[in-house]
Structure 1
């Protein structure tokens, strides 16, 4: 695998058109941070973010988006700063992928459909492996799908190995039990996925600067930060500058 620069992804989770965060993926345990997600995108881009991670929580749960207009606004805002966006949540077929990419999204994250190796191979072939991210989220090393509401017995690392063979390049790796807890990302799981052949972006539980730097030190492709950022646990601008000094974060 050719080395890649580490990317820090501020997360914008959209539920009912608003910017929220969930605790361990529980839709009943949510905190609303802003009624205008595009304004949040502007804030993170002004702090130096070059790539945003956007989750359509309604889409993840129901398989259909009611937040397309809101996310379009985020994409337009990011692009005005020269930043990119990856979007996940309820993207389960070719038309949905094409629709997001046509709107200017750089990458799409596919979670529920990631179990279908043949389908993922087709997506990687048609749209390019660099634009397809496998959402490998789960508990106890096993995949969780349908907005994390359905727990499967599929080993995440085994799935990563199969996806790498069909042209997928990146994986977003989330330990659901750590999401929103500030306990630190499951770097061991993310490293195992990377060793299986996919560039790994660690997500879930990152508490601040030290966890971000630990993900970078582990050799991962990136990290997603959400609750810690919204709760003011660290200064995004200073961390982005620190990463830029090392040639990363872009």
Structure 2
């Protein structure tokens, strides 16, 4: 390409004149002396930075896709406002035999590789810095034409037929907002909700749903699709809820403790099943968040992907109801999985929604809104405008 498009000479001339050259992903790879991405025979690069490009080991999954940590190694003017952070990668080839002085940052993916390089007025990143919008002052509106779609899903949690909110899943930190949850559902629909998230908290704690009549009344009162979870432990209950008009079923404890049951449900209702992944200190929590397993979040989600689960709701229990922001670090670590994620737990302001939008991940499907709406931190219609 460098030769066929006659790019080499003008690039080399501009670099000699002192112009800064910044290569991103394949652009970074072109800065090196040679690479094998076009085939087994090395193809000459620009030779502006010493080293070559080679494919990752066959022992790891490629391409490397998702958010991975970049650890800064050498000081450079361009990194003066940066710190070790997660950035978005999508590549199958990496830098090799790169001089240590030219490595600004490194990333671990099966092996340590240079993900940020620089030499004089030449710089390159294997990751995509344009995904990390908060780090750079881009012109206003530059991303508007290509922004991701993020579904905002208001939550209605039910105890004794009432609309409540808990903090960190603790019953002794319960606050009741309405004795008529169906009116809350109508209000959210009027505000523009595309979906509602209903949880039978009695069912989650007791293992058996007790708010079926309330759920049925909500479904009958609105036209907006509804997803329901909390205490769903058998196939008959799934069928009856779908017959009521529920759009999606959320399985939490049962999905974790009975993988065979989950597999059976997926065979019949794959597109209507959402698995709730509740997390405490990076371990899977069940039974209304009361029991904490020894299974790591990463390992559990990998199992769900292997089973064919298409969608999960990821909740950091320690942040739920506290209005202190989402666990973005946890989310970034999991976005590389081939599964749609609805984030939950901690939204307290419109800025939290903007932070999610900034991730620009196709796997981030939506976010559940709870106490922030009930405590009037913002209105749903305002938030919907913000994420358009």
Which TM-score applies when normalising by structure 2?
0.59
1:145-184 deviations in Å (ceiling 9; x for gaps): 0011111111112111111122211110001000111111
Larger radius of gyration: 2
Aligned length: 239
| 1:178 paired to 2:178 | no
Residue in 1 that maps onto 2:160? 16
Tell me if the contact between 1:38 and 1:74 (Cα under 8 Å) persists in the aligned partners: yes
Richer in helix (by share): 1
| 1:29 paired to 2:173 | yes
Residue in 2 that maps onto 1:45? 189
Change (3 A) 1:104 1:222: same
Residue in 2 that maps onto 1:63? 207
**Which stretches in structure 2 are left out of the alignment for 5+ residues?**
1-64, 66-147
| 1:168 paired to 2:309 | yes
* Bigger Cα displacement from structure 2, 60-69 vs 12-21: 60-69
For 2:263 and 2:335, the matched residues in 1 are separated by 18
Residue in 2 that maps onto 1:217? 358
Residue in 2 that maps onto 1:6? 150
Which TM-score applies when normalising by structure 1?
0.91
**Which stretches in structure 1 are left out of the alignment for 5+ residues?**
none
Residue in 2 that maps onto 1:239? 383
For 2:259 and 2:357, the matched residues in 1 are separated by 29
Deviation at 1:73, TM superposition (A): 1.2
RMSD: 1.7
Tell me if the contact between 1:92 and 1:113 (Cα under 8 Å) persists in the aligned partners: yes
SS of 2:335's partner is: helix
For 2:243 and 2:349, the matched residues in 1 are separated by 34
* Bigger Cα displacement from structure 2, 8-17 vs 153-162: 153-162
* Runs of 4+ in structure 1 over 4 Å off: none
Tell me if the contact between 1:117 and 1:163 (Cα under 8 Å) persists in the aligned partners: no
Q: Higher relative contact order at CA 8 Å, sep ≥6: structure 1 or structure 2? A: 1
For 1:234 and 1:24, the matched residues in 2 are separated by 21
For 1:190 and 1:95, the matched residues in 2 are separated by 33
